[in-house]
Amino acid sequence: MLLSIAGIDGSGKSTQVREVLKRLSRFPLKVECAKVDFHATLSIFDLANHLRGTPDDYHPWIPPVLREFTVACDVLRYSQDKLTQLVERCDVVLWDRGPLCYRSYASAYGVTDRHVSVIYDLVAKPDLTILIDLPAEAVVERIMMRGEKPAKMDENLEFLRVVRQCYLDIARKDARCIVINGERATAAVTDDILSLCRERIPGLGVLHYQMP
């Protein structure tokens, strides 16, 4: 099973990956986490830092189609080189982000380039994508409280509203994507994710046991 956890920045994706991993580790399953290794995209950040004095100030100074094409190439390379091997040797792979995330952000930036779209068509498709949805206002509040990691240039209310709508629009067209309410307590969101795994992937019968 390849399970992708998606959502706008600050929605709790990485937190849920850790929590789901912790829960599943109580059972005789081989579970690993996956997250794209960005290599070419780092050059975009270096260029932004050279032009603007900070790696986060890349929009609109560096053409969105160039950035998103570079991101897509990194995602595809990770999918082909590492992700497929993880899926082959594990019972469950928890993918922090995934195709829905990258397509949604490309759409929010207005990138409709055919090459970007075709690249994502070649990326491994999750068996189930969980979209953790919450209003942009709530996300901005979380980001402002995130003292150890300052907000990036594109983590503003106006843009995150656009990103959220792009997520929802794309998710509605994918039968393997389920939207859940991310405004609740972390444990409640984790419970929902595990419940959806049981419903959608009956082969993972071990998940039918009562979670401690």
| Residue extents of the structural domains in the chain | 2-36+64-207
Residues in binding site for ATP: 7-14
Instruction: Please state the separation of Cα 207 from the chain's center in Å.
Output: 23
- Cα 9 to Cα 182: distance, rounded to the nearest angstrom: 12
pLDDT at 208: 46
Residue 6 φ then ψ, to 5°:
-125, 165
Cβ neighbours, 10 Å, residue 22: 11
Helix and strand numbers, DSSP H then E, in the chain: 9, 5
pLDDT at 198: 79
pLDDT at 204: 58
Cis upstream peptide for 60 (omega within 30°): yes
Element (H, E) at 6: strand 2-6
Residue 47 φ then ψ, to 5°:
-65, -45
CATH of 2-36+64-207, one of 3.30.465.10, 3.60.20.10, 3.40.50.300, 3.90.79.10: 3.40.50.300
- Please report where in the chains the tokens 């419940």 appear, as a residue: 195
pLDDT at 84: 95
pLDDT at 9: 87
Residue 33 has pLDDT above 90, yes or no: yes
What number is the average pLDDT over the span 146-163?
Answer: 80
pLDDT, mean over the chain = 90
Residues in binding site: 7-14
What number is the average pLDDT over the span 58-77?
Answer: 95
Q: What percent of the chain has pLDDT over 70?
A: 91
Residue 118 has pLDDT above 80, yes or no: yes
Q: Could you give the 3-state DSSP secondary structure of residue 179? A: strand
Please check whether residue 97 is in contact with residue 11, taking contact to mean a CB–CB distance below 8 angstroms. Answer: no
What's the distance, Cα to Cα, between the start and end of the chain in Å?
22
What number is the average pLDDT over the span 130-156?
Answer: 82
- Tens digits of residue pLDDT in 180-194: 999 999 999 999 999
- Cα 40 to Cα 37: distance, rounded to the nearest angstrom: 9
| 3-state percent breakdown (helix, strand, coil) of the chain, nearest 5 | 55, 10, 35
Please check whether residue 131 is in contact with residue 6, taking contact to mean a CB–CB distance below 8 angstroms. Answer: yes
pLDDT at 151: 66
Q: Give the predicted TM-score (pTM) of the model.
A: 0.89
The two structure tokens encoding residue 176: 């393997």
